[in-house]
Amino acid sequence: MTNTAILAVSALLVFAYLLDIFGRRTKLPSVVLLIATGMIGRVVLDALGIQLRFVERLVPLFGTIGLILIVLEGAVDLEVRRERAGLIARSAATALLGFGITLAAFSWGIHTFLGLTWPYAALAAMPFAVISSAVAIPSSHGLPKDAREFVTYESSLSDIIGVLVFYSWLAADGSLKDFAIDLFGGGFVSLLAAVVAALGLFYLINRIEGHVRFLPLLAGLVLLYAIGKASHLSPLIMVLVCGLLLNNPHLLEWNERLRKMHGEGYDATLKEFKSIVIELTFATKSFFFLMLGYWTDLSYMADWRAWAVAFAMIVTIYLSRAAILALLRQPDWRMLTWLAPRGLITVLLFLTAMETGELGAFPFGTVMLVVLVTATATAIAHRRPTESERPETADVAQTREAPSAEAMSEEPSKGG
């Protein structure tokens, strides 16, 4: 049994890696490929009479760890400088407006057409209003630098806003007063805790020695996330702030004591830390989406109500996003319109909402349909070249490559 498990885990990792290569070369979404593989695997195993009952318990676990690692991976690649203030402000505005507008539209539709009460209609709508950084950040790697940073900031902030609002609303049980207290009080406390945690992590990564250095740090970060979640805070803020501070030690230069914490070998250590995070993120995300595909019951996706609700949500997502990006005058807004995937965070939040037992009228197949369609749309948009990637005309290329006659005559000969 042990040997079989080792073979299965190893084979799945190798297969996920091959799928990732295939997805990058064909620009197909690896998320869709992994979910589809899981679905096919379930059909095959069911035909053989094999049931993996442990998968249902592992999906939330791998999803939570994957979310932490994905946000951390994106944050440690971002630079925070004064000249990036406009980009960060646009990202935050897009994330906030996108979440608010889609949440209002989805809540109204779920209440009107599915008959859920307003509090639970809003609870069911929130997971679909959040952009998934688990899909958006990896999909942005081929974009120009500014667009890539915009996607990383926006999707990470969308996750944070969504998680903070979702858990505050869940704890308030329909009370607007309790919701406001939990939301704003929890957000402020989360930010303070994030700064303290980031300073601690920065200190440790400059002082830690020995062969085992990074896994204890990551375990501590996951522990902080669990404590923050249990305390109804927004633990993703901790993850984001920690990643930003690690990659931007210049933010500490205003204080002499903090400046002294920056060791000489910090850059090399940070590079190793990033490599570990990337490897672990790939493995965790791969297992999550494979198990999610296996765990999905295809009969839920055959429900016509699921298709109707998913269609209405998808249309609302892209129409509202196009309007917001155009209003904020975001460069490449036509391409960025389609980079609004729903994924890991959507699944995690909806599973939590289902635990209330009040969403029985909501067609569960909607979740997977929205995830698959928006992830595919993200990949299709990724295939379209941006302005900076379009090949130049032959005349322009020749002008840039061929030196002018004056330049040739003025250039000194290489023999002296």
CA 133, 135, 138, 139 torsion: positive or negative?
Answer: negative
| pLDDT, tens digit, 9 for 90 and up, residues 165-194 | 888 898 887 788 888 887 777 778 888 888
| Count of domains forming the chain | 1
Residue 1 lies in a domain: no
Alpha-carbon span 120 to 122, nearest angstrom: 5
DSSP one-letter string for 345-402: HHHHHHHHHHTTS--TTS-THHHHHHHHHHHHHHHHHHHS--TTTSPPPHHHHHHHHS
Containing structural domain, residue 280: 12-384
Query: What local confidence, expressed as pLDDT, does residue 404 receive?
Result: 45
Phi-psi region of 344 (alpha: psi -120 to 50; beta: other; left: phi over 0): alpha
Residue 271 lies in a domain: yes
The enclosing domain of 339 has a CATH number of 1.20.1530.20
Residue 414 lies in a domain: no
**Which comes out higher in pLDDT, residue 207 or 132?**
132
Residue 287 pLDDT > 60? yes
Angle at 131 between CA 77 and CA 345, to 5 degrees: 90
Residue 410 lies in a domain: no
Query: What local confidence, expressed as pLDDT, does residue 218 receive?
Result: 85
Query: What local confidence, expressed as pLDDT, does residue 130 receive?
Result: 94
Residue 153 lies in a domain: yes
Alpha-carbon span 302 to 309, nearest angstrom: 13
155 contacts 136 by C-beta, under 8 angstroms: yes
- pTM equals 0.80
Phi-psi region of 173 (alpha: psi -120 to 50; beta: other; left: phi over 0): left
Least confident of 68-72, 128-132, 287-291: 68-72
| pLDDT, tens digit, 9 for 90 and up, residues 221-269 | 888 888 877 777 777 788 888 888 888 888 777 767 777 777 677 788 8
Residue 7 lies in a domain: no
Residue 187 lies in a domain: yes
Residue 129 pLDDT > 90? yes
DSSP one-letter string for 233-253: S-HHHHHHHHHHHHH-GGGGT
Residue 412 lies in a domain: no
Phi-psi region of 115 (alpha: psi -120 to 50; beta: other; left: phi over 0): left
